[in-house]
Amino acid sequence: MNALTVKTTSATPAVVCPNRDPIVVSFSTNGTPPSGTTYTVLISDASGNFQPPTAGILGNIIGTGSSSPITCSAGRPISAYKAGAYKVRVISNNNNIQADGSSVAVTLSRTTSPAVTEVSYCENAPISLQTGVVGSNLFWYGIKYNGGDYGSYKVGENQAATPPSPTTPGVYTYQVTQSSGGCESDIAELKVTVKPKSSPPGNQTVEYCQGSGTKTLTVNAQNPIWYNSAGASLGTTAPTISTDNATPLTYKVTQNTNGCVSDQSTITVNIRAKPAPPTVNTPADVCQFATSVTLSANGQSLQWYNTDGSPRGDAPTPTGGGTAPQTFFVTQTVNGCTSDKATIVQKFIAAPAKPTVANPNPQACQNEPPVQLAASATGTLNWYDFQSKLLANTPAQPTSVTPAPTPTSSPSQREAAKVNASRSKCSSNPNPRLLAMPPSTFAS
């Protein structure tokens, strides 16, 4: 008895459009098969070779039945096969019925595939897959993520929503076809790149001193975009800050390093209050020609300034013989901020006019009674000897003969009351005596 075999005899139509035209496959056996025998229609690969039966939407089983002919489905998996020349073969699920190796040629004919263009989007940005596809009546199939396997995904024709849009950064490949006259094209692959957002510049705090002028914010970022505290865009121009008021300010900023804008970072601006000027110690008035004291003030990190406003390294000691007040300035620095200038004035009391000496050149003869020296002034008279030593009382004109020392210096604004013994004045004396030049005496 010969073994039972199954023979594939025909497939109609010979040219079909997958997903539209079902293939009707006829077969025969060389005997009567057992009751309950079923048959499977396989489609070859593009090279005409048959692989072991594989079910599912990505398999090679395109139809099943219990008798000839078998009408195959026009959908998956045959709808996923590309246009070209293929073969179909009928096999039995009964191991006692063997296929005789016969097959029938079929041609899969498709409409033109849609044109696709690679598209890129930024993470969390709205994505429209339609942007990268030119076609009509689109069908969407598998999605491949970062080179992984396709999943099964199909939506209805011409759906604007299409498959789910990607959100995680990476490279996605979408399978898409178009249909014309009910005939679906081969699959085209649309590549979609989702780029990650740029890293944010980072939060930072900047500080300025009150009254330090207008400041422009800076940030270490590429292509920064600035925002106000509410998040509204201010554009690419960095904000300018007025330091007139010690009020905290907040701005936000993003950067763009790869074509995708980062999340916002916060820039906090603190304006430190200007410290009060230092407290100056008002100096006592100083007499003209007297030595003044070094000026002083109470504060932190004092900086002194000359009368013309130029800075100096130490506290000033006013000098000079004039009577015009001398004005100096001083600031203090607290927490890095400098105060306004405080003013300190050294005043001078004008020296009185020099006294008037009654007889600037008194003369006396030796051994005659001394002459009392005299001078007048608006203030109190002070008498000094020739060595500028202050005397307790008004001196008398000496008449004894002593060497006449020469004063080494004359105090400023003192009138010397000199006594010169004159030989001619005493010449009428019947007993001429030696004239003496007394020590010089001064009144002031």
Per-residue pLDDT, 150 = 53
Distance CA 146, CA 26 (A): 43
CA dist list (Å): 7 to 25, 41, 55, 441: 11, 11, 22, 160
Asked if residue 149 has pLDDT above 70, the reply is no
Whether pTM exceeds 0.85: no
pLDDT band per the 50, 70, 90 thresholds, residue 162: low
- 180 in the same domain as 150: yes
pLDDT band per the 50, 70, 90 thresholds, residue 140: confident
Asked if residue 136 has pLDDT above 60, the reply is yes
Distance CA 4, CA 99 (A): 9
pLDDT band per the 50, 70, 90 thresholds, residue 139: confident
How many structural domains comprise the chain?
5
- 330 in the same domain as 303: yes
More confident residue, 184 or 436: 184
Per-residue pLDDT, 145 = 76
Per-residue pLDDT, 372 = 77
The parent domain of residue 77 ranges over: 4-108
Asked if residue 202 has pLDDT above 90, the reply is yes
Tokens standing for residue 316? 């000033």
Asked if residue 166 has pLDDT above 90, the reply is no
pLDDT band per the 50, 70, 90 thresholds, residue 411: very low
- 70 in the same domain as 36: yes
Per-residue pLDDT, 398 = 64
Asked if residue 384 has pLDDT above 60, the reply is yes
Radius of gyration of the chain, Cα coordinates, nearest whole angstrom: 59
How many C-beta atoms surround the C-beta of residue 312 within 10 A? 13
Distance CA 233, CA 269 (A): 18
- 69 in the same domain as 27: yes
Q: What is the mean pLDDT of residues 412-430?
A: 34
The residue assigned the tokens 């041609």 is 107
Q: What is the mean pLDDT of residues 217-224?
A: 96
Tokens standing for residue 218? 């800076």
Distance CA 400, CA 398 (A): 6
Distance CA 302, CA 94 (A): 107
Cα angle 133-127-170, degrees, rounded to a multiple of 5: 95
pLDDT band per the 50, 70, 90 thresholds, residue 286: very high
Asked if residue 108 has pLDDT above 60, the reply is yes
- 419 in the same domain as 367: yes
| Cβ–Cβ under 8 Å, residues 179 and 116 | no
- 104 in the same domain as 9: yes
| pLDDT tens digits, one per residue of 1-35 | 578 999 999 999 999 998 788 999 999 999 999 99
| Cβ–Cβ under 8 Å, residues 165 and 129 | yes
Please report, in angstroms and rounded to a whole number, the separation of the first and last CA atoms in the chain.
165
Per-residue pLDDT, 174 = 85
| Cβ neighbours of residue 279 closer than 8 Å, sequence gap 6 or more | 297, 298, 299, 342
- 364 in the same domain as 334: no
- 241 in the same domain as 167: no
| pLDDT tens digits, one per residue of 109-134 | 999 999 999 999 999 888 888 888 99
**Mean pLDDT of the residues in the chain:** 84
Distance CA 75, CA 16 (A): 12
- 399 in the same domain as 328: no
HSE of 306 in the Cβ direction (CA atoms, 13 Å)? Answer: 6
Asked if residue 191 has pLDDT above 70, the reply is yes
pLDDT band per the 50, 70, 90 thresholds, residue 320: confident
Distance CA 64, CA 50 (A): 16
Per-residue pLDDT, 68 = 96
pLDDT band per the 50, 70, 90 thresholds, residue 69: very high
| Cβ–Cβ under 8 Å, residues 180 and 137 | yes
- 306 in the same domain as 268: no
| pLDDT tens digits, one per residue of 232-244 | 999 999 999 999 9
Q: What CATH number does the domain containing 46 carry? A: 2.60.40
More confident residue, 237 or 148: 237
* Burial (CB count within 10 angstroms: exposed 0-12, middle 13-18, buried 19+), residue 34: exposed
Per-residue pLDDT, 444 = 54
Q: Which of 68-77, 231-240, 351-360 has the lowest mean pLDDT?
A: 351-360
Q: Of 108, 131, 151, which closes a domain?
A: 108
pLDDT band per the 50, 70, 90 thresholds, residue 289: confident
Alpha helices in 212-256 (DSSP H): none
Q: Of 42, 73, 108, which closes a domain?
A: 108
Per-residue pLDDT, 88 = 97
Concatenate the DSSP letters of all residues of 11-38 into one string: EESSEE-TTTS--EEEEEESSPPPTT--
- 400 in the same domain as 434: yes
Q: What is the mean pLDDT of residues 257-276?
A: 96
Per-residue pLDDT, 400 = 54
How many C-beta atoms surround the C-beta of residue 115 within 10 A? 12
Per-residue pLDDT, 157 = 39
* Burial (CB count within 10 angstroms: exposed 0-12, middle 13-18, buried 19+), residue 237: exposed
Tokens standing for residue 264? 């916002």
Q: Of 195, 224, 243, which closes a domain?
A: 195
- 153 in the same domain as 99: no
Distance CA 324, CA 287 (A): 12
More confident residue, 171 or 57: 171
| pLDDT tens digits, one per residue of 73-88 | 888 788 878 899 999 9
pLDDT band per the 50, 70, 90 thresholds, residue 431: very low
- b/e map of 116-154 (b: 16 or more CB within 10 Å)? beebebbbeeebebbebbebebbbbbbbbbeeeebeeee
Q: What is the mean pLDDT of residues 271-279?
A: 96
pLDDT band per the 50, 70, 90 thresholds, residue 418: very low
Per-residue pLDDT, 360 = 80
CA 398 to chain centre: 91
